[in-house]
């Protein structure tokens, strides 16, 4: 049965750091897990990942004590069921715009009595071989991490509803989609977008939920950590691009100095 180290650390008031990965390559997931992340989020919303991919991706994380998460494609019980059954220890749900939508996400992620998730002897349940099914249900309800994403004007207006939903663990700001929704495409630094993010921040940090956000650089992560975010998530691509640029600039500058 799963032990969600990331959820335990959040509950203890700690900060956790993770990375998005949207490629169905178990070896890459294992390589990244060895880097020391607290959690990995396998991105089915903006990637080609299928539920079957989560089996190997989750195994790769579990080998090294890293929490495997998934960003599902949509807030639908049948979709959430398949990704969690494959082995993810929790989920990001995009475009959660109301308390009712947040409640639906929790219902889909949790078994009775909190939710209505379908039950079977799947990988997440240890194929029914590791423990009595009743023990698994109780453990899963405790350990499954539910992250709801606020990335629209409607979501910003509904933050008070989101933090009131039992079973939601993290309220996550999606800066790019939020800027799009507010009419400032690709400009999260616009004052209107910043005001919306500040509203979310104040409400969430005053609640029992953790504040999460996507950060593109280490500097952004430090800024948001100071603002109270405890669930910090970046992407593989920004890391690779920054490293590539730094390498090429250094090498080419050195070459120019020696010719």
Contact present, 6 and 67 (Cβ < 8 Å): yes
Cβ 176 vs Cβ 186: under 8 Å: yes
Catalytic residue among 5, 8, 46, 64: 46
* HEC readout, 157-201: HCHHHHHCCCCCCEEEECHHHHHHHCCCCCCCCCHHHHHHHHHHH
Distance CA 68, CA 153 (A): 29
CA distance 256 to 111: 63
Catalytic site includes residue 184: no
Distances (CA, A) of 223 to 67, 86, 173, 208: 24, 35, 14, 21
Active site residues: 46
């Amino acid at each position: 049965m799963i032990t969600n180290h990331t959820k335990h650390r959040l509950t203890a008031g700690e900060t956790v750091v993770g990375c998005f990965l949207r490629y169905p390559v178990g070896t890459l997931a294992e390589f990244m897990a060895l880097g020391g992340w607290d959690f990995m989020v396998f991105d089915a919303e903006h990637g080609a990942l299928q539920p079957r991919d989560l089996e190997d991706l989750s195994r790769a994380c579990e080998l090294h004590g890293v929490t495997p998460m998934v960003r599902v494609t949509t807030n639908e019980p049948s979709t959430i069921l398949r990704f969690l059954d494959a082995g993810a220890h929790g989920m990001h749900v995009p475009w959660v715009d109301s308390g009712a939508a947040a409640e639906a996400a929790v219902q889909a992620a949790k078994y009775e009595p909190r939710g209505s998730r379908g039950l079977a002897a799947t990988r997440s349940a240890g194929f029914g071989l590791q423990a009595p099914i009743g023990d698994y249900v109780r453990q899963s309800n405790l350990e499954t991490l539910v992250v709801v994403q606020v990335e629209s004007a409607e979501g910003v207006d509904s933050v008070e509803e989101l933090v009131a939903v039992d079973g939601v663990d993290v309220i996550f700001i999606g800066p790019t989609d939020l800027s799009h929704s507010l009419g400032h495409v690709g400009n999260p630094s616009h004052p209107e977008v910043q005001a919306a993010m500040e509203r979310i921040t104040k409400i969430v940090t005053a609640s029992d939920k953790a504040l999460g956000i996507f950060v593109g650089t280490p500097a952004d992560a430090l800024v948001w950590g100071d603002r109270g975010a405890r669930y910090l998530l970046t992407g593989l691509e920004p890391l690779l691009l920054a490293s590539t640029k730094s390498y090429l600039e250094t090498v080419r500058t050195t070459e120019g100095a020696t010719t």
